[in-house]
Structure formats: C-alpha cells, structure tokens
Amino acid sequence: MNGIQIATSVLSLVAGVGIFLIACNMMSSNLEALGSKKLKALFAKTAKSKLVGVGVGAAATAAIQSSSATSVMVIGFVNAGIMTLSQAATVIFGANIGTTITGQLVALGMFGNSSLSSSAIFSAFAGIGAFILVFAKKDAVQKTGGILAGFGMLFVGLSLMSGAMKVFSELDEVKHFLALFENPFLLVIIGALFTALVQSSSVMTSMAITMTVTGLITLNQGIYITMGSNVGTCVTALLAGLTSTRSAKRTALIHLIFNLSGVIAFMTIGLFMGLGGINYGQLFEKMFPAAPQLQLAMFHTIFNVLTVIMVLPLTSPLVKLVTKIVPDKKNERSNDAPHLEFIEQHMLAAPPVAIMQVKNEIMNMAEIANENFNIACDLICTLDYKDIARFRKNELTLDFLNRELNRFAVALLKADLGEKDRIYLSTAIRSAADLERIGDYAENITEYSDKLRDSGAIFSDAAVKEIAGLKETVNSLFAAVMKTYKDGDGRALEDVLDIEDRVDSVTESMANFHVERLERGECTPESGAQFLSLAANIERIADHYVNVAKTVKTYS
C-alpha cells in the first residue's frame, strides 16, 4: 500500500467525521426548531415522577439526537427556576439512554454486504432531504427536509469513515500500534478526551463501532473507549454550568457524577471479570454472535440503562451531595452590578430554551421599569428621596438589559429558528427598547421633582390625589400587559386597550382640573408646569406598555 492510498484514507476519515458532525448538528437544530413547543411541553411533565423524568430525557434526546443539547436545556430550566434539581437529574439520566439511539442507527446502517446495504439506502435520504430544502416553500417542510438530509448524511459520513478504517485495518503497523492501547483506564481517557474535543459522544461511539467492525480495534477496546465518551460528553454541560447560577452548576455536576458512577462501576466489574479470564468483549460476542455491528451498540445501550437503574434510587442523596459541594452563598452576585437574570450565552446552543428565557428577561425588565415608575410618582408627590439610590440602580440595569437583550437576540436570530420564534425575537428587541424608554420617562419625572424641590413649590392635595389615581390606573395597565405578554394571548389585548383609554381620559381631565386650580389660585405656575409635564410623561409610559402588549398579535 503506497503513501497516496494512506493519505487518501486519512483525508476520507477526516471528511467522514466532519460530515457526521454536520449531520448531527443539522438533525438536532431542525428537530429542535420543528418541535420546540412540544419539547417545552414535554419537559413540563417531569414533575410527575422520577420514571417520567427519565422517559422525558430519553425521548427528548432521541428526538433531537443530542444529549448535550438536552443537558443545556435542562440547565436553562433550572437556572430559570422552572425545574427543580431532582427533576433535572432524572431528565439527564434519561438523556444518556436517548443518546444511544445514534449508535443503534449506525449499527443498523452497517448491515448488508454483497447485496444493497442499509447504509446505501439510508444515505439516499441526504438527496431526498436536499431536494426538499431546495424546492419547499413552507418553513415546516424545509425543516423536515433538513432532518432527512441530516439523517442521510449520517450514513454518508459513516460510509467514508468505514472505508478509511478498512484501509487502516490492512496495515500491520497501525494494528500493532493500536494493540498497545489495552489498558482500560487509558482507553477511557482517550474516549473522554476525543469526545470533549468534538463535543459529541455520538461521533466517538460511531467511530468506535466502525473501528471494531473493520477489525482495527477489538470489541473490548471499543467498549472502554465508549465508556470514556460518556465522561467526555459532560464537558458541554460543565462549560454551560460554569457561567450560570449555583443551581445550574449543581445540575452540570450531577451530569458528571452520574456518568462517572457508571464508568467506575463497570470498570470495577470488568476488573473482577478479568480475574476470571473473561472481558466485556467476549461476553457481548456471545450475547450477539455473528453481529459485530450490534455488539458495541448494544453495550452502549445496556451500559446506560443499567447506570440509570443503579443511580435513579439515589437521586435524593445525589442532589444533597452536589448541594454540599456547591453550597448556597449570600450575595453570590454583586448587588451593584447590573446582570441578566435568565439569559446565559451557552443557551444559544438550545434555541427553544433561549427563546423562553428571552421572554422571562423581558418580563423581568418590565418589572424593573414599573418599579421605577412607582418610585418616581411617589417621589414627586412627597419629595422624599429615600428610594433614589434604588431608582438609580434600576435605571442602570434597564440600560444594561436593553443593550444585552439586543445583543443576545441578534445572536439567537442566527440560529435555525421557526418563523414564529424569529418574529418573536424581532418584537423582543422592540419591547426592550420600549421598556428602556419607560425608564427614561420615569427619570424625567424625578427631574421634575428636583425642580419642585429647588423652587420650594409643592403640589396641592387635589393634584397629589389625581397623581395617585393615575398611578393606580397605570399599574392596572401594567398588570394587564404582563398577563397578555406572558400568556401570548392576543384576545386579552382588548383589556389593555380599554385601560389605555382610561389613562388618556384621566390625563386629559388632569390638564383641565389644573387650569381650574390655577384660576382659583390653589397652585402656582411653577408646580403647574411640572404637573403637566408629569401627566404627559405618564401618558407616554402607558403608550410604551401598550406597545409591548401589541407585539403578541404578531406571533400568537
């Protein structure tokens, strides 16, 4: 065999791994985009029981073909307080079962020799999916085409990898070199490092299967490499947890401990089996004779199922353990530093969660804006500056949130999203701007307070009563807007518009009453000027609240 053939095989292997990775990403992103609502509903069922949580994790991962994506989604839910740590643990357990589906598909694709192979049949889906992507007009149909194309590309990549492995298996030098790696601990480390590098246990497992089938490595070597891939796949979740809340850190740690527990248990059993002169490879060759395609794939599945059975009863102690390892601390974040409550950069890897968290962040921003509105109204009526430090901090936070939400939404728009999610993100950018403007108008009101204080003027009791009434009406408007926005129900918009009409009516009446008080000498021109400016600013605040509610019509 000459150098050109070897170089060609190396390039084919690299190409095969690349196509396989792209295929996994295509399937994952399109399945997520197509079924994001169903995924959210699926995760909501985890509270019923531990077994339901395991089933949901397995189903979700089997659907989107990525345990890493499932783990990142779970961390997002824990970070938002939507899912408890115990619920998250069971979903992660199930995700490890769901990720074995890829290995089973790869094994299935390796059946058939002289006749038409299953790999060739499945590879044809890449062409079918490509035609759909080119000619389909509807978004949902295009996503389906993307799924089919990704599915077919899995087997195109597999075929390239398998062909390269066959060439390498004919080289005695390669065989002798790989035979040196017999130590189980070393094989686990190799599997973990390679999986961490490509961030896909599916690629590592698939490569191990093709190497085993072509005779490049023994089944026993492939088994320990596959064990290592389970540890390496935790890297994505650990990276996601590092920049998140303590609950998210604990979730990532549960993922690592769970996978390590399975590896340690099986390696310990393997050592004892070795004393009796038998190893896992020999055992699975007897269990699935004359089917090398299935032997490693079945080990991967059985390994993960038995690990879940072993660890599931220990969920509560595991949660207590990670809580001790990552204990609660007061003032985890600086009270003075503006920060995002729900959004983390790693969530870009899980668009369904990211969309939901953007919505939570918008609602959090709205609460802060409305708090400043109330502080400003109280300040101008009482000229008591006890809450001004809180107001200033909120104003800085609103500016920060508007800027960071905009940046995150733009980055998220680059992901493969459904049409409704794209429209929502566009409206979210506008909503953040509207809420930031509410903060600016509230700041105007505090400046009117400064002018009143400096001039020695105050509002009359009648004026203060009118401001209090208008404040109450705007707070009713805010509650209606938040209900509409949270539920995404365009029909509830009628209540919002009715309250807005009341705000307009009240501000118009305030201007008329002010003129009457001026004529009676009950208020001064200095206080009157601030009073009219105040009413105009509150009316604009109401308009911006309504803008936020109106966005529901565009995507509901």
pLDDT tens digits, residue range 64-80?
666 766 776 777 677 66
Q: Enter the tokens of residue 96.
A: 């490890």
Angle between helices 201-213 and 3-34 (to 10 degrees): 140
Q: What is the pLDDT of residues 444-467, one digit of tens each?
A: 999 989 988 888 888 888 888 999
Position 88 scores a pLDDT of 85
Cα–Cα distance, 56 to 45 (Å, whole number)? 8
Angle between helices 3-34 and 139-169 (to 10 degrees): 150
User: Average pLDDT of the chain?
Assistant: 83
Q: Which of 128-142, 240-254, 529-543 has the highest mean pLDDT?
A: 529-543
For the chain, percent of residues with pLDDT exceeding 70: 84
Q: Measure Cα distances from 327 to 245, 249, 319, 324, 514 in Å.
A: 11, 10, 11, 5, 58
The answer on pLDDT for 547 being more than 80 is: yes
Higher-pLDDT residue of 454, 139: 454
Q: Find, among 300, 302, 289, the residue nearest to 223 by Cα.
A: 300
Work out the pLDDT band at 371, boundaries 50, 70, 90.
very high
Q: Which of 240-249, 267-276, 285-294, 438-447 shows the lowest mean pLDDT across its residues?
A: 240-249
Cα–Cα distance, 3 to 6 (Å, whole number)? 5
The answer on pLDDT for 396 being more than 90 is: yes
For the chain, percent of residues with pLDDT exceeding 90: 33
C-alpha torsion angle, residues 143, 144, 147, 150 (rounded to 10): -90
Token pair 């700041």 is found at 443
Q: Which of 91-100, 256-265, 328-337 has the highest mean pLDDT?
A: 256-265
Cα–Cα distance, 262 to 301 (Å, whole number)? 12
Residue range 407-426: average pLDDT?
87
Position 65 scores a pLDDT of 61
Residue range 258-270: average pLDDT?
93
Residue range 398-414: average pLDDT?
93
Residue range 408-430: average pLDDT?
88
Phi-psi group of 309: left, alpha or beta (phi > 0 → left; psi -120 to 50 → alpha; rest → beta): alpha
Taken in order of first residue, the domains within the chain and their CATH numbers are 3-325 (no CATH), 345-555 (1.20.58.220)
Position 255 scores a pLDDT of 86
Token pair 């001790």 is found at 324
CB neighbours of 448 closer than 8 A, spacing ≥ 6? 380, 530, 533, 534
Phi-psi group of 112: left, alpha or beta (phi > 0 → left; psi -120 to 50 → alpha; rest → beta): left
In the DSSP assignment, the letter for residue 414 is: T
CA atoms within 13 A on the CB side of 339: 13
Residue range 108-119: average pLDDT?
59
| Residue 37 C-alpha from the chain's centroid | 13
Cα–Cα distance, 298 to 358 (Å, whole number)? 40
In the DSSP assignment, the letter for residue 349 is: G
Q: Enter the tokens of residue 134.
A: 């080119």
Residue range 234-255: average pLDDT?
73
The answer on pLDDT for 272 being more than 50 is: yes
The answer on pLDDT for 333 being more than 50 is: no
The answer on pLDDT for 345 being more than 60 is: yes
Residue range 420-428: average pLDDT?
89
What does the chain come to in residues?
556
The answer on pLDDT for 385 being more than 70 is: yes
Is the distance from CB of 195 to CB of 229 less than 8 angstroms? Answer: yes
Position 245 scores a pLDDT of 66
The answer on pLDDT for 116 being more than 60 is: no
Q: Find, among 437, 443, 343, 427, the residue nearest to 388 by Cα.
A: 443
Position 169 scores a pLDDT of 67
Cα–Cα distance, 20 to 207 (Å, whole number)? 10
Higher-pLDDT residue of 460, 429: 429
3-state DSSP call for residue 220? helix
Work out the pLDDT band at 115, boundaries 50, 70, 90.
very low
Q: What is the DSSP string of 522-542?
A: SS-HHHHHHHHHHHHHHHHHH
The answer on pLDDT for 9 being more than 50 is: yes
Cβ neighbours of 81 (radius 10 Å): 12
Residue range 151-175: average pLDDT?
74
Is the distance from CB of 438 to CB of 544 less than 8 angstroms? Answer: yes
| Residue 555 C-alpha from the chain's centroid | 20
Burial of 529 (0-12, 13-18, 19+ CB in 10 A): middle
Cβ neighbours of 359 (radius 10 Å): 18
Work out the pLDDT band at 143, boundaries 50, 70, 90.
confident
Q: Which of 58-67, 261-270, 382-391, 491-500 shows the lowest mean pLDDT across its residues?
A: 58-67
Higher-pLDDT residue of 88, 161: 88
Cα–Cα distance, 39 to 353 (Å, whole number)? 9
Residue range 485-504: average pLDDT?
86
Is the distance from CB of 15 to CB of 160 less than 8 angstroms? Answer: yes
Q: What is the pLDDT of residues 33-66, one digit of tens each?
A: 655 556 556 665 665 678 888 888 888 777 666 6
Position 4 scores a pLDDT of 79
- pTM for the structure as a whole: 0.65
